[in-house]
Amino acid sequence: MGMEAAGHKCVGFVEIDNHARNSYSAIFDTKGEFEGHDITKISEDAVRSLGSVDVILRFSC
């Protein structure tokens, strides 16, 4: 949310845990966003299909 407050737009997310992914989608409007399930299986072509991307963030808890 901090990045969006700074003027950036989220174009996708990746979350391996199905429950966490469903929660995220319920909380945030993810319609039209790229949705990945396993970061180790995201290809370079999939990232390139997003178009021009300025920042890729990784969060871990």
pLDDT surpassing 80 at residue 4: yes
User: Structurally, how many domains does the chain consist of?
Assistant: 1
In a domain, 40, yes or no: yes
Q: What is the pLDDT of residues 23-58, one digit of tens each?
A: 999 999 999 999 999 988 999 899 899 998 888 877
Q: Are strands 12-14 and 34-36 parallel, antiparallel or unpaired?
A: parallel
Name the pTM for this structure.
Answer: 0.76
pLDDT surpassing 80 at residue 59: no
What is the spatial distance between Cα 50 and Cα 12, in angstroms, rounded to a whole number? Answer: 8
Q: Give the residue numbers spanning the domain of 28.
A: 2-48
More confident residue, 59 or 23: 23
* Residue 41 CB coordination number (10 Å): 10
In a domain, 31, yes or no: yes
In a domain, 6, yes or no: yes
Encoded tokens for 54: 């300025």
Sorting pLDDT into bands at 50, 70 and 90, what band is 61? low
57: Cβ–Cβ under 8 A, 6 or more apart, which residues?
3
In a domain, 33, yes or no: yes
